[in-house]
Amino acid sequence: MVSWDETLGPSEGVFFDAPLAYHRAGAPVSFEGWACLAAEPIRFESVKSMLCQPFENALAIGYEMSDAMIAALAEREIPYIDVSLHPIRFLEDLVFALRTNIRAFHDTLIDHKLSDVAAQNQAALIQAKAAWMKKPLPLPPGSMLVLGQVDHDRALLQRNGGFHSLGDHLKRLHQLCCDHPKVLFKPHPYDKAHSPSQMAVKRLPAIQWTNANFYHLLSQPEIEGVVALNSSGLVEARYFGKASENLAPFLYAYSDTPPGRDFFPGGAVPQNGDWIETSFWRQLLDGTSRAATVPAPPNRLRRTMNADWGYGFVDRVVA
């Protein structure tokens, strides 16, 4: 395990000296420094060496690796698997997507791809239950939902080290107010009250703010679509039959596209629950045996990720 936090490193682990890497890259150890380093390819050979040295002659498995890290690994032709949290959050457990720069690994990922039908069925069950519940608020048909995000989310990082905000899309927000009988704004619970996005929305008093449950809102037939910068909610909305519009590019491309020969990754493939089983990794590494799908108890990964807050609605409505 490679870790920048000494307290997390196991005895055989490798400590990564993050302050030294920042220093060599000429960036301050700060939020802004992180944003600059994560957004652009790393120019300094010494920093690239620091990043890649622990992975020489190894398979790198990373969690939501930055573009800069991916580029550095690709340049040195180091094989990797990048794990990321998938946008669909309403299933019985969290879903993760994996992407890789090795074709054979990618084929294994495809073997264990999450069934789209499972997500469609779950969305239908939530909608069916929500139909029995009191509406979260009065809604005319053709209403639109705008989702907020945490203003310094990595997904909102721009190439220049700045962050996308709804303030860059006031014209579009105004047009939504012209074209839709009601426009709702649901701020992200962790966003700051004076974030650039929230300040932008406040400039349009026609937009009504709501803290109603997202899935309850998605289940309302009067909601025609969802607009956001690039929130995971946009992907979820499609399973509820809603149109979705992203104002900023998505961070990940979910597809079956295999990796090319340039050591950059293929599409991120959403996985069923097999990927945390030993048999999955055995199949991936030696290719000799196919891992069996093992039914897992609900919320197993959600709890281990300490991300089981806020999902009560799903548990409550689809028992």
Partner 1 sequence: MTPADAILTRAIEQLSHGDTLGAEATLLGGLVDMPTESRFYLVHGVAAREAGRLPDGFTGFWRALAADPNLAGARAALLDTVVTRETPTERDFSLNSGERQFADTVAAIRADHRARYALAARWLRHHIDSPRLRVGLDVFCGNGYGSRMIADLAGARMMGLDGSAEAVAQATTKFGSHRVVYGHSVFPFTLAPKLFDFATCFESIEHVDDPAELLHQLSVATNGPFIVSVPLETGLPFAVNRDLFKHHVRHFTLSEMQNLLAKTGRVIAGEWGQVVYKKNRDRVSGFVPEHEMGIRPLDADSQFLIVVACMRMPPFESAKP
Give residues in contact with partner 1 (CB under 8 A): 138, 140-143, 170-171, 173-174, 177-181, 203-206, 224
CB count in 10 Å sphere of residue 139 = 19
What is the sign, positive or negative, of the torsion defined by CA atoms of 292, 297, 302, 304? negative
Cβ nearer to partner 1, comparing 92 with 224:
224
For partner 1, which is the closer residue by CB, 6 or 179? Answer: 179
Local structure of 60: helix, strand or coil: strand
| 106: its two tokens | 């990618």
User: Which residues make Cβ contacts (< 8 Å) with residue 97, sequence separation at least 6?
Assistant: 83, 84, 85, 86, 252, 254, 268, 269, 270, 271
Nearest residue (CB) to partner 1, 154 versus 174: 174
Distance of CA 172 to the CA centre of its chain: 24
Report in angstroms how near the CB of residue 140 gets to partner 1 at its nearest.
5
Dihedral, 165, 166, 169, 173 alpha carbons, nearest 10: 180
State the nearest-atom distance from the C-beta of 217 to partner 1, in Å: 17
Nearest distance, CB of residue 203 and partner 1, angstroms? 5
Collapse the DSSP code of 125 into the 3-class scheme (helix H, G, I; strand E, B; otherwise coil) and give the result: helix
Q: Which is nearer to partner 1, 210 or 299 (CB)?
A: 210
Q: In the bound complex, what is the minimum distance in angstroms from residue 255's beta carbon to partner 1?
A: 31
In the complex, least distance from residue 243 CB atom to partner 1, rounded to whole angstroms: 12
Which two tokens mark 215? 């899935």
Tell me whether residue 10 or residue 140 sits nearer to partner 1 (CB atom).
Answer: 140
